[in-house]
C-alpha cells in the first residue's frame, strides 16, 4: 500500500523529518505517537502534498507509484485521505456541494459516471448516519460555525463519502469528548476492510482503545525510534515520553 524510504523533509528551511522508514500493507492500522514537535503532522502533510513542505531526500510509493511526483488532488483521487487536525472553514460553500464536487472528481478519475442528485443524496444520508452527523450541517458552509466535535465528525463523514484506500487521521481525537470520540472511532472502524489501511496519529492511548492498531510507532526528532504492537501505546500512557527521550538522548 504505502512504502516510505529514508524520507527527509523540511519546512521554512528547518529539517523536521530525518529519515523515516515505514511500510504499510493493505488492511493494517498503524498508530504514530510521539511528543509535540516530533514531526507527526509534518509526515501527514508531506504525504498529502502540502506545498510548504519540502522533501529533501527519500522516496514514497503509494500503490506502487511514486507519490511525491503527484499533485495533492491526484494523490487524493488515487485514494489517499487526510483527516485534518484543524479542518479549514470555507465560507459560503455549502458542505453538500463541496463533498458532491469531491465525490464526482473521484468518480471521474476512476472513469465512472458522476452521481445523479438522487444517488448523491442517498449516499450522503447513509454516510451521515455512520457518524451521527446532523442533516443541517451539510446545508451549512464547509466547517463554518461547526463545533470542534462536529468538525472532526465531518472529516470522518468525508472519508466515508470518498472511501479512501489509505486514511491518515491527524489527531482526530484532539478536542473530542468521550462520546464524540466513540462515534468518530466507530465511523472509522465501520470503514475498515482488508483492502484499506490507516495511519492514526495521536498523543493519547485513549483513541487506540477504540481503533485498535496492528503497529505502534514512536516518532521522535523526525525519526521512528521504536515500533511494536498495540501494547506499546499502553506503555507510553503509563510512562510518558521521558523514557524515550532519555533512551535516545536529547
Partner 1 sequence: MERKVEMEEQNKLLNDVTQADYKYGFVTDIETDIIEKGLNEDIIRLISKKKGEPEFMLNFRLAAFKKWEKMEMPDWAYLKIPPIDLQSISYYAAPKKQPKYESLDEVDPELLDTFNKLGIPVEEQKHLAGVAVDVVMDSVSVKTTFKETLAEKGIIFCSFSEAVKEHPELVKKYLGKAVPVSDNYFAALNSAVFSDGSFCYIPKGVRCPMELSTYFRINAANTGQFERTLIVADDDSYVSYLEGCTAPMRDENQLHAAVVEIITMDRAEVKYSTVQNWYPGNKEGVGGIYNFVTKRGVCRGVSSKISWTQVETGSAITWKYPSCILLGDNSVGEFNSVALTNNFQQADTGSKMIHIGKNTKSTIISKGISAGRSDNSYRGLVKVMPGAKNSRNFSQCDSLLLNDTCGAHTFPYIDVRNKSSIVEHEATTSKIGEDQIFYCNQRGIDTETAIGMIVNGYAKEVLNKLPMEFAVEAQKLLQLSLEGSVG
Total residues in contact with partner 1, by rule CB under 8 A: 37
Which is closer to partner 1, CB of 48 or CB of 180? 48
Please check whether residue 4 is in contact with residue 217, taking contact to mean a CB–CB distance below 8 angstroms. Answer: no
For partner 1, the binding residue among 2, 7, 10, 233 (CB under 8 A) is: 10
> DSSP string spanning 114-163?
PPPHHHHHHHHHHHHHHTT--HHHHHSEETTT--HHHHHHHHHHHHHHH-
Q: How far is the CB of 1 from partner 1 (least distance, A)?
A: 18
Shortest Cβ 160–partner 1 spacing (Å):
13
Which residues, 86 to 145, sit near partner 1 by CB under 8 A?
A: 87-93, 97-99, 101-102, 105-106, 109, 141-142
Tell me: does residue 49 bind partner 1 (CB under 8 A): yes
C-alpha distances in Å from residue 14, one per residue of 52, 60, 170, 241: 11, 20, 21, 23
CB proximity list for 193: less than 8 A, separation 6 or greater: 27
CA pseudo-torsion sign 167, 168, 171, 175: negative
Is 111 or 249 the residue whose CB approaches partner 1 more closely? 111
Q: Are strands 29-33 and 53-62 parallel, antiparallel or unpaired?
A: unpaired
| Region near partner 1 per CB under 8 A, out of 46-54, 123-131, 205-213, 225-233 | 46-54
Q: Does 39 bind partner 1 (CB under 8 A)?
A: no
Nearer CB in complex with partner 1: 69/247:
69
Nearer to partner 1 (CB atom), residue 52 or residue 238: 52
Under rule CB under 8 A, which residues in 185-244 are in contact with partner 1?
none
**Can you state the angle between helices 117-130 and 95-109, rounded to 10 degrees?**
110
Which is closer to partner 1, CB of 38 or CB of 158?
Answer: 158
82 binds partner 1 (CB under 8 A): yes
Tell me the C-alpha distance between 250 and 244, whole Å.
10
Question: CB under 8 A: which stretch of 9-17, 146-154, 191-199, 226-234 binds partner 1?
Answer: 9-17
Task: Say how many C-beta atoms besides its own lie within 10 A of residue 228's C-beta.
Answer: 12
Q: Which long-range contacts (CB under 8 A, 24 or more apart) does 45-48 make?
A: 45/82, 46/7, 46/9, 46/17, 47/2, 47/75, 47/80, 47/82, 47/168, 48/72, 48/75, 48/76, 48/80, 48/82, 48/168
Choose between 66 and 97: whose C-beta lies nearer to partner 1.
Answer: 97
Closest distance of CB 142 from partner 1, Å: 8
- 148 counts as binding partner 1 under rule CB under 8 A: no
Residues that bind partner 1 (CB under 8 A): 10-13, 48-52, 54, 71-73, 76-77, 81-82, 84, 87-93, 97-99, 101-102, 105-106, 109, 141-142, 158, 162
Amino acid at each position: 500500500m504505502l512504502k516510505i524510504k529514508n524520507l527527509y523533509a523540511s519546512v521554512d528551511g528547518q529539517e523536521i523529518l530525518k529519515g523515516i522508514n515505514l511500510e504499510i500493507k493493505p488492511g493494517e492500522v498503524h498508530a504514530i505517537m510521539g511528543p509535540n514537535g516530533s514531526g507527526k503532522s509534518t509526515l501527514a502533510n508531506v504525504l498529502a502534498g502540502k506545498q510548504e513542505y519540502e522533501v529533501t531526500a527519500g522516496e514514497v510509493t503509494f500503490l506502487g507509484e511514486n507519490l511525491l511526483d503527484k499533485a495533492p488532488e491526484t494523490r487524493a483521487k488515487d485514494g489517499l485521505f487526510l483527516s485534518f487536525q484543524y479542518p479549514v472553514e470555507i465560507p459560503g460553500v455549502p458542505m453538500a456541494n463541496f463533498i458532491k464536487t469531491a465525490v464526482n472528481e473521484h468518480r471521474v478519475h476512476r472513469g465512472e459516471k458522476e452521481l445523479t442528485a438522487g444517488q448523491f443524496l442517498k449516499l450522503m444520508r447513509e454516510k451521515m448516519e455512520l457518524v451521527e452527523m446532523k442533516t443541517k450541517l451539510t446545508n451549512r458552509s464547509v466547517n463554518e460555525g461547526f463545533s470542534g466535535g462536529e468538525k472532526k465528525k465531518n472529516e470522518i463523514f468525508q472519508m466515508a463519502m470518498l472511501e479512501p484506500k489509505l486514511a491518515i487521521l491527524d489527531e482526530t481525537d484532539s478536542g473530542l469528548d468521550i462520546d464524540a470520540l466513540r462515534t468518530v472511532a466507530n465511523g472509522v472502524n465501520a470503514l475498515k476492510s482488508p483492502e484499506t489501511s490507516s495511519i492514526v496519529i495521536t498523543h493519547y492511548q485513549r483513541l487506540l482503545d477504540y481503533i485498535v492498531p496492528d503497529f505502534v510507532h514512536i516518532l521522535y526528532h523526525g525519526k521512528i525510534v521504536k515500533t511494536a504492537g498495540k501494547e506499546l501505546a499502553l506503555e507510553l500512557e503509563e510512562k510518558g515520553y521521558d523514557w524515550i527521550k532519555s533512551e535516545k538522548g536529547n
